[in-house]
Amino acid sequence: MFGLLARDTKFFDLFEKAADVVIRTAQAYADLASDYARRDDIIVRIRQLEHDGDEITHTTLDRLDKTFITPFDREDIQTLMKQMDDVIDEIDAASKRLILYKILEPTPWFVRQTEVLVKATASLGKAVARLRNLKKPDDLHKYLVEIHRMENIGDDNNHAALAELFDDANNPIFVLKWKEIYELTERAIDKCEDIANTIEGIALKNS
């Protein structure tokens, strides 16, 4: 009987909308790093994207409560949406710290990490799009591998950035401020890898 019921494919639209917001938030964060003079306007943009992400998450979870047959396990849908929202939240938190801590200019490591995040989210968006047809996922594995590669690069960058930061023992306040910003940025990259792991698990269960 269940096999005769059509699955609600609207979920795939919502997954892709959420991924698009993640991508645009990461790009705004990179824009912030490269055009820091416009930081106030860009941070407002990030804040709006955070609201957009929350709205898509709430819409998806509400639909989940009302849908009998879902594309794949409900727990996986909840996890995927939460993890995408987490990426946006980490970026939003980091961008707020730049204003709160009165950061006057970005560091080269910060710029580099925002670029890594943009690349990770681009692959994330392509991976999410492949969820529509897990019987023929095309290049899904390639995009998941690329996300893992970006996470490794981000991890190496973060270690190097922190090592360089702690060399500046003459300015402990500067060190504390940037340590938190670096770590929030690294967490955003880590969340992309969490999403890749979730997608990989979904693919294994549904291919």
Q: What pLDDT score was predicted for residue 92?
A: 98
What are the DSSP calls for the chain, one per residue?
-GGGSPP-THHHHHHHHHHHHHHHHHHHHHHHHH-GGGHHHHHHHHHHHHHHHHHHHHHHHHHHHH-SS-SS-HHHHHHHHHHHHHHHHHHHHHHHHHHHTT--S--HHHHHHHHHHHHHHHHHHHHHHGGGGTTS-TTHHHHHHHHHHHHHHHHHHHHHHHHHHHT-TT-HHHHHHHHHHHHHHHHHHHHHHHHHHHHHHHHHHH-
- The pLDDT of residue 7 is 60
Question: 16 near 129, Cβ under 8 Å?
Answer: yes
CATH value of 2-206 in 3.40.50.11610, 3.40.50.720, 3.30.1280.10, 1.20.58.220: 1.20.58.220
**The pLDDT value given to residue 3:** 41
Instruction: Determine the straight-line distance between the first and last CA of the chain, rounded to whole angstroms.
Output: 21
Residue 13 confidence (pLDDT): 95
Query: pTM for the whole thing?
Result: 0.93
Alpha-carbon gap, residue 183 to 158, rounded angstroms:
8
Predicted local confidence at residue 4, as pLDDT: 35
Beta carbons of 40 and 68 less than 8 angstroms apart: no
- Please report the pLDDT score of residue 67 as a whole number: 86
**pLDDT tens over the chain, length 207 residues:** 334 334 668 999 999 999 999 999 999 999 999 999 999 999 999 999 999 999 999 999 999 999 888 898 999 999 999 999 999 999 999 999 999 999 999 999 999 999 999 999 999 999 999 999 888 777 999 999 999 999 999 999 999 999 999 886 678 899 999 999 999 999 999 999 999 999 999 999 887
Q: How far apart are CA 182 and CA 156, in angstroms?
A: 12
pLDDT at position 127: 96
32 is written with which tokens? 């912030």
What was the pLDDT predicted at 169?
Answer: 66
